[in-house]
Structures are given as C-alpha cells and as structure tokens.
Structure 1
Amino acid sequence: MSQQEKISRLNLATLLFPLALVLFEFAVYIGNDMAQPAMLQVVQEFGVDASWVPLSMTAYLLGGALLPWLSGPLSDRYGRRPVLLFGVAWFTASCLATYLVSDIHSYMLLRVLQGFGLCFINAVGYAAIQEAYAENTAVRVTALMANVALIAPLAGPLAGAALITLAPWRTGFLLIALCSLLALLGLWWKMPETVQPSAAVKLTPRALWHGYTRLLRDGRFVRSALCIPLLAMPLMAWIALSPLLLVEDLHLSALEYGLWQLPVFAGLIGGNLLLALVAERWPLGRSVLVGMWPLVGGLLLMLAGVLYGGQQHVFLVLGMSLMALGEGLSFGVLYRFALTASPQAKGIVSAGMSMLSMAGYALGIELFRWGYLAGGITGFALLSVCTALGFVWLARPQVKRAMAERADPDLLPQGI
C-alpha cells in the first residue's frame, strides 16, 4: 500500500477494520481466560484427575508458539488478507469442534489447534494495521485497540466462572466461536489488502532460515524488538506473581486482591488513551521519553515503600500503576519503531518480533520467579527497578535515533 493510499483520518468507516481485528483478538484471549474456569467440569466429565487442569493453558500457549515463524512469511507470499481470514476461520472452526471431543486427549489436542489463532494476531493482523494507516495514525489505532484487548483478562475469568453455573462447559466455546465468526465477517467486509502478493517470497526451509538469521543479525532490529519485552516485563511479572505477593505474603482476601488490580489496569488504559491523544501532536517517540519518568519513578517509589514504609500493598499497587501508565505511553510507538527497524518484508519482521517477545517474556517471568523465591516482595521490587533501568538504557538511544530519522525523511529505512 503506497503512502498516498494510507489512512490518515479516523472515523467509523476507517475504524471498522481494526475493530474487527480487535474483536478476533478478544475472542482468542478469552479462549484461554474464559476456558480455564470450566476445566474442573471438563476433567470431571472425562474422568481424569485435576492435574490436567493447568495443561489446558499450556496446550493453548504451545499452539500459539508453533506457527508465528510461518504465518508472517505466508502473508508476505500470499497477502495479509487471505492468511488472516484463514486464521480466523480456523480458530472459529476449532472452537466449534469442542462439541465433537469425548476424551481428555482429544480435548488437549484441540486446545493446541485453537492456540494457532494466537499466531495470526501480531504476525499478520498488527502488521496489516501498521501498513494500512499513516504512521501516527497507526500508533493511535494500536493504542486504542490495546484498551479493548485488556478487557479479556478482566472479563474472561469472571464470565467463564458465571457461565459454568448456568450452562455446560461447551457453551463457552460456542460463545467464543460466535465472537470469532463476527470478527471474520467484519474482516471479510472491511480488511484491505496491504501488500502485493509476491511469488518472489520463498517459503522453503532454507529461505526461511536465511530470512530469520539475516533478521537476527540486524543489531538495530534486535535492540528495538527487545525493548518491548523489557518494557512490559514488570507488569507481566506482576500478573503472574501478584496472587502470591498480595494474598500469600500480605494476607489480602481474594476480593481485595481483585480490587487492588483495578488501579494497575486503569494506569495502563490511561497511558494508552494519552498516547492516542498525543500521537499526532507530539513528534513520534516523545511519549516514550516522557513515559520513562512514571515508569522508573513508580518502580523506585514501590521499592522504597517496600523497604521502608508500612502498607506495602499500597506502594506495590501505586508503583505498578505508574509503571503501567508509562508502558501505555510507550508500547504502541516502540512496536512501530521495531517493525520499521528492518527493511525486510513486514510479515517476517513482525513474526520475528513476536518470537523474540515470547522468548523474552518466558525468560523474564522465570527470572522474576527466582527473584521472588530468593527475596520475596523485596526481590520482586528490586528486579522490577533493574528491568526498568535496563529498558531505559536500551530504548533511549533507539528512540532518539528513530526520532532523528523522522525529522529528516531521507534517513528513514526503506519501507516506512
């Protein structure tokens, strides 16, 4: 899609494509968050013990890790539109197929197949968003979409728990499939084709290997891509460890635990909304530099409160809320900078970003787990501060370089 064809104004008509994409993203996310509360019914029906319960999430995430390396290059070869439509249709059909399973092994295999839906969101869908919209508009759209996607981890478990009290567990998958089907119809109607399908893109193992190794040898791309997991890691670790921090260590009730999560998500939503507001008013990248202040300052405040203050849960939540505000101001811009850091086809670039992010999240959460086991709440807070400082050290020069290039368009890498 040429620069002249890129969308630069947002209205209902130009937002229908991202709305349909984020509806699919929502369906895929609640495919995990809504399904987990039903697992006790699943294992009971299939006559197996409760040790199978966590394997449902593992199988789903395994499916999401299997195909990004292929879905991105496929969309370079055949176009974003047909590949994404296939991915949405696949996910819809695999959710409906739960009505056919009759044992736990078939169910777990189906969870892997359903997890394939994760492979099409970033590697294909978000790449198309970046290509369909002008640069600042793409950042605004990404920030707005992030708020809708945040509803899934909040509403999914509650909706799943409520549904299993009213209907059989398979009904949840029917509702997820319906949501995905509506997204499919919206994408069929409004998704543009943003790349020209090219037979020159080879999908042989050798060609893919050379493409990814060339990408990973590009130091600028790797540094830009690693900024994303470094930015998000404290919040990801908070999601993983906050039940232990708040309930086990600080003895909050389950209700109090849930209520203290609200300021953190509010901070993230507020940061995304601020980014959408300033994206076309500020030079692209300035919001990241501004966001570094609440990000680092909030985590330093959290560490000081944990070490020297009472009411540790207040400082934990306040620090994480400020950190989340900084993340919201930064994420959409950093995603754009990483995607445009390499001149290679954007399908393989977005797939490479997705795989680096997943690897960074996996390693980071394990590191935070060990930090918590070694130092408890203090270990978590100290590691959060170190991660934030590492993010500033890595991201600041990348952002300043990207801002300088956009101030002088002759310096921009090919393909922006």
Structure 2
Amino acid sequence: MQNVQTTTLNRSTLMFPLALVLFEFAVYIGNDLVQPAMLAITKDFGVSSDWAPSSMSFYLLGGACVAWLLGPLSDRIGRKKVLLAGVMFFVLCCLAILLSQNIQQFLGLRFLQGIGLSVISAVGYAAIQENFAERDAIKVMALMANISLLAPLLGPVLGAFLIDHVSWHWGFIGIALIALFSWFGLKSKMPDQQISIPRQPLSYILDDFKQVLKNKRFLGFTLSLPLIAMPLMLWIALSPVMLVEQLGLTSMQYGLAQFPVLGGLIVGNVVLIRIIDRFPLGKTPMMGIPVMLLGTCILIFGAIWRDYFMLSLIIGMTLISFGEGISFSVLYRFALMSSNVSKGTVAACVSMLLMFCFFIIIEIARELYVHFHIWAYVLSCFVLIALWFVYPRIELKRIIQERKQQGQF
C-alpha cells in the first residue's frame, strides 16, 4: 500500500486538477463531439447509421483494455510519468484517425483513443484521491465533473456545426490541440510523488488484482457505478439516432436538447459541493438515486403517451442527470477506498469493470433499439436504476452505519 501525504484544497493545489480536467475535457469531447457527427461519418464511409453507437462503445472498450496495466504501472514508476505518456499517446491517435479510409479503421483508432479514458480513471483519479483529504477529494471530483461537462454541452453544438459547415476531421484536430495544451499543464503543475510501494516483480500485479476482486464491498460499490451512470451514457450514445432520425430534430435542435439534460448533472454536482459537509458521507446517493428512479418513470410515461414524449424525455433525463450528479463522486470514493491495495491497482479495477460494463450495456441497448426503438431505451434506463436498490443500497446503508459507529461524520 502507498503512503501519500494529502494536501488541503486551495488555489495553488487546485492547479493540478485543472490541468487534469483539461485533458478529461479533451477525452470526453472526443466522444461528445464525435457522436452527433457519426451520421455524417457513416455516410462518408458508405455504411448504415446502425454503426453510429459503435463509435462510443469501441471508445469505451479501449478504455477498459489497458487499465489493468496503467494503474499498477503508475504505482511502480509514478503517476506523473504514466499520465504524461498517456496524454501524448491520445494526441497522436487523434491525429492518426484523420487518415482512416473505412469504418473498420475508424473504429480501430477510436478503440486506441479510448485508452485516454483509462489514463484519466486509472491514473489521474487515483492521484486526485491520494493528493486530497476525503471530502476535499470528493469536492475536486465534483468540480472536475462540472468543468468536463462542458464537453457534452458544447460537443453536440460543435458537432452540428462541423456537419453543416466544415468536416468532422477538424474536430479531431481541435481535440488533439486541447490535449496537447493539458500535457504542458500537467508537466508543470502535477506533483511528483515519492513512491513508497515495494519494488516487486510485475507478476505481483495478478495477486493484487485477485485481492481487490475478492473484496465484496469493492465489487458492490464498483458495480453500482455503471447502474447509475449508464442511463446518461445511453442518452449520449443513442440520442443522435433517437432525436434526429426518429423524432426528426435538426442537428442544432439536437445540440440544444442536451443543455437541460446535462445542465441537470452540473446542478447536481454544484449541490453536492454545497451540501457534502452538512450530511454524513453517503447520504447524498440515498437522496439522489430515488430522484433518478422518478426520472425513469417519467420516461415510461412519455413512451406510453407519445404526445408528451419529447417533454417527458427532457424532464426525465434531467432528473436522472441531477441524481447522478449528487451521487456518483461519493460512490466512486467508497469504491476506491474499499480496498487497502495500492490505489493505482484499485483504480484500474474500477476502470476496467466500468468500461467493460459500459461497452456491454451500450452494445446490448443498441441491438435492442434496432428492434424495439424507444421502449428499449426507456426500459433499459428503468431496469438499471431499479437494480441499484437490490444490493448496492443495502451495502451503502451498512457503511453509513459503520462510519456513524466509528464517529466519522
């Protein structure tokens, strides 16, 4: 286990998270700008629009496949070295995709770009959790989430602009420049931590992973994360097809429809920052996830009474986003701290499980959407949120009670 001295949150120590969130913004807009452009991209490559959600799922799959290496590697040689190398690799992949000649090459490079997700979650987030005290780390994560949410807010509008006026290729050039700028910020502002983990052979990685994955509490909290994150992920993946093709919205109308939905997530994160010190840690998910369930019920209402579908869709997804905003960062903290194994390895496990779940669920939902359309999306959201109340809620109540008995607020 690593022993890293935490710092207090102030203007000086905030510069590292701001540099990291700039890369996070680049990685996220690498999805949110591209998704609305996928209809044009599939047309350029001469394939069906059914391929459109695969751009996101392959992006997520790429994020899942190397986390097992990046997290433990950063434990041994330092977070900063791995993070800087990962940012530069992402920049090169964004430029390489400009040369793709068919949808298979495009998706292959999307897979490689997705490694940037692991760089953030398995290395960057671990550094944040280690550098800051418990509640400060949650505040930093919520603040970073709000800044990175500019990506899904601006991405659809910029994607629509690219479709209507220039080429989707320019989007990847812009993303590469943003990531390159963040590289310089991280090189300057990210602290160089002293590694206290014993210098063990890489074969020990497998033993560490086994120890983490045998931890039932870790699995309970980690597998609860995709349950509450997937409805919004499905919205990002399927809304171009759902809103533009099926409901007939223009590209610009599609972009504007993202504002209330993603605005709900921003408001949720702001509320979390404001109230995190007033309640026992873990209380906000107990408030937020029932709000998400209400949002899925409103989606079902709109699917039944189609005259109100668009209004129900926006209201329901906004409630879902708000609930996620006041819940996700807390649950992530619990998942990461539920094991005593070095945090790079634990973060890698979280990242892999999350990304594989995202990939599998998106591909299943994509296939179901082909056959059942709106109902596939609506019921998928409802089932995912409802599953959280089966086991994760019980485990969360248990840890809140344990912390209360130990005198932890």
Equivalences for 1:16-415 in 2 at 5 Å? 16-34=15-33, 37=37, 49=46, 60-95=59-94, 111-160=110-159, 162=161, 172-194=171-193, 196-204=195-203, 207-307=204-304, 310-369=307-366, 372=369, 375-409=372-406
- Kept after mapping to 2: 8 A contact 1:295/1:324: yes
**Cα separation, 1, equivalents of 2:292 and 2:58:** 33
Deviates more, 1:401-410 or 1:211-220: 401-410
Distance 1:198 1:379, change over 3 A: closer
**Cα separation, 2, equivalents of 1:93 and 1:375:** 39
Structure 1 gap ranges (5+): none
- Kept after mapping to 2: 8 A contact 1:24/1:183: yes
Q: TM-score, normalised by structure 2?
A: 0.85
- Kept after mapping to 2: 8 A contact 1:78/1:197: no
- Kept after mapping to 1: 8 A contact 2:42/2:48: no
Distance 1:373 1:190, change over 3 A: same
**Cα separation, 2, equivalents of 1:80 and 1:41:** 36
Deviates more, 1:108-117 or 1:74-83: 108-117
Distance 1:353 1:102, change over 3 A: closer
Deviation at 1:151, TM superposition (A): 1.8
**Cα separation, 2, equivalents of 1:384 and 1:35:** 23
Q: Kindly, what percent of the aligned residue pairs are identical?
A: 44
**Cα separation, 1, equivalents of 2:251 and 2:97:** 31
The aligned amino acid for 1:291 is G
**Cα separation, 2, equivalents of 1:166 and 1:249:** 23
**Cα separation, 2, equivalents of 1:51 and 1:365:** 18
The aligned amino acid for 2:386 is L
* Match in the other structure for 1:6: 6
**Cα separation, 2, equivalents of 1:390 and 1:319:** 18
**Cα separation, 2, equivalents of 1:374 and 1:390:** 23
**Cα separation, 2, equivalents of 1:74 and 1:164:** 40
Deviation track 1:310-341 (CA, whole Å, cap 9, x = no partner) reads 41221222122111111111000000000011
Equivalent position SS for 1:341: coil
**Cα separation, 2, equivalents of 1:161 and 1:251:** 14
- Kept after mapping to 2: 8 A contact 1:137/1:279: no
Higher relative contact order (CA 8 A, sep 6+): 2
**Cα separation, 1, equivalents of 2:314 and 2:377:** 13
Deviation track 1:273-302 (CA, whole Å, cap 9, x = no partner) reads 111111122221111111123112222233
Deviates more, 1:254-263 or 1:30-39: 30-39
Deviation at 1:107, TM superposition (A): 7.1
**Cα separation, 2, equivalents of 1:161 and 1:380:** 23
Distance 1:243 1:7, change over 3 A: same
Deviation track 1:117-175 (CA, whole Å, cap 9, x = no partner) reads 22211000001111111111111111111122222233235435545877776654443
Distance 1:302 1:143, change over 3 A: same
Equivalent position SS for 1:13: coil
Distance 1:177 1:410, change over 3 A: same
The aligned amino acid for 1:133 is F
**Cα separation, 2, equivalents of 1:373 and 1:256:** 23
The aligned amino acid for 2:8 is S
- Kept after mapping to 2: 8 A contact 1:291/1:330: yes
Deviation at 1:373, TM superposition (A): 5.3
Deviation at 1:181, TM superposition (A): 2.3
Deviation at 1:17, TM superposition (A): 0.7
**Cα separation, 2, equivalents of 1:200 and 1:410:** 36
The aligned amino acid for 1:347 is G
Distance 1:40 1:376, change over 3 A: closer
Deviates more, 1:163-172 or 1:389-398: 163-172
**Cα separation, 1, equivalents of 2:164 and 2:123:** 37
**Cα separation, 1, equivalents of 2:100 and 2:338:** 48
Deviates more, 1:107-116 or 1:122-131: 107-116
Distance 1:406 1:82, change over 3 A: farther
Q: TM-score, normalised by structure 1?
A: 0.83
